[in-house]
Amino acid sequence: MKTIEKNKIENINLHDLVENQDNPRSIEPQQMQKLVESILTFPKMLQMRPIVCNENRVILGGNMRFRALLNIEQMEDEAIRNAIEAVAVKLTDGEKQQLCSHWETWKAEPKVEVVIADSLSDEETDEFIIKDNVYFGSWDEEKLKGAFDVDDMQRWGLNPWEIQQEATTYEPAEDEEQRIIIVYRSEDAQAVADMLGLDAIEKRNFDVDELKEKTE
């Protein structure tokens, strides 16, 4: 029986890692911003899901997290503080300050915990790169609705409209409340307001009657 070798875990300087130029994944700027915010407010996730690289420190899994960390390293302390303040709305002021202090210290010596997958064959390496980015299964929309807050899910990077795309198609009841979600960048806020006939986007939720009144 073949013994499965255990991979080493090392704490490596961020700049000693090499992004995989053949990585088949890409990311939009808006998604990258979400990832940066996610890491800023929950750095423990980097230990729970560490970056994986080969013996030459070329990244096999976690290229987007690597890019996000490079972005964080270049951020001013004030920008980090503002991002944490905007996203980590449920944390206390003390917890937010702990996060700010963590990143200030980390930027002085940017190291990251990495799994060294030096026991993989070339074929296994290719298989890992693909499987690391494949998601099996789908979300149970009803359980998500019952257990998690929609705003929390959005802050964590899971968009309700993505869940709905995975769900089976259904015909809503005639009197069932419907929802349209508009996704836009902050710089496009005024354009969205103009499209809706509003002076400005002053809140996150509007009902149809309210919009009718504002546009009449």
> Is there a domain that residue 2 lies in?
no
The predicted structure's pLDDT at residue 117: 93
The predicted structure's pLDDT at residue 123: 93
C-alpha span between 62 and 42 (Å, rounded): 16
Number of domain units in the chain: 3
Which among 155, 51, 40, 36 has a CA at the least distance from the CA of 102?
40
Q: Are residues 104 and 147 located together in one domain of the fold?
A: no
Q: Are residues 188 and 203 located together in one domain of the fold?
A: yes
C-alpha span between 20 and 57 (Å, rounded): 9
> Is there a domain that residue 18 lies in?
yes
> Is there a domain that residue 65 lies in?
yes
Is-above-0.75 flag for pTM? no
Domain limits for position 157: 138-175
* Count of alpha carbons within 13 angstroms of residue 45, beta-carbon side: 13
Residues 38-81 have pLDDT tens digits of 999 999 999 999 999 999 999 999 999 999 999 999 999 999 99
Task: Please state, rounded to an integer, the average pLDDT across all residues of the chain.
Answer: 83
Q: Are residues 58 and 96 located together in one domain of the fold?
A: yes
Q: Are residues 168 and 68 located together in one domain of the fold?
A: no
Q: Are residues 96 and 170 located together in one domain of the fold?
A: no
Q: Are residues 104 and 29 located together in one domain of the fold?
A: yes
Q: Are residues 122 and 208 located together in one domain of the fold?
A: no
Q: Are residues 18 and 68 located together in one domain of the fold?
A: yes
* Encoded tokens for 140: 């149970």
C-alpha span between 153 and 25 (Å, rounded): 23
Q: Are residues 86 and 56 located together in one domain of the fold?
A: yes
> Is there a domain that residue 1 lies in?
no
Is residue 100 pLDDT above 50, yes or no? yes
What is the residue whose two structure tokens read 């939009």?
28
* Count of alpha carbons within 13 angstroms of residue 136, beta-carbon side: 3
Q: Are residues 33 and 96 located together in one domain of the fold?
A: yes
Residues 102-112 have pLDDT tens digits of 999 999 999 99
Q: Are residues 99 and 35 located together in one domain of the fold?
A: yes
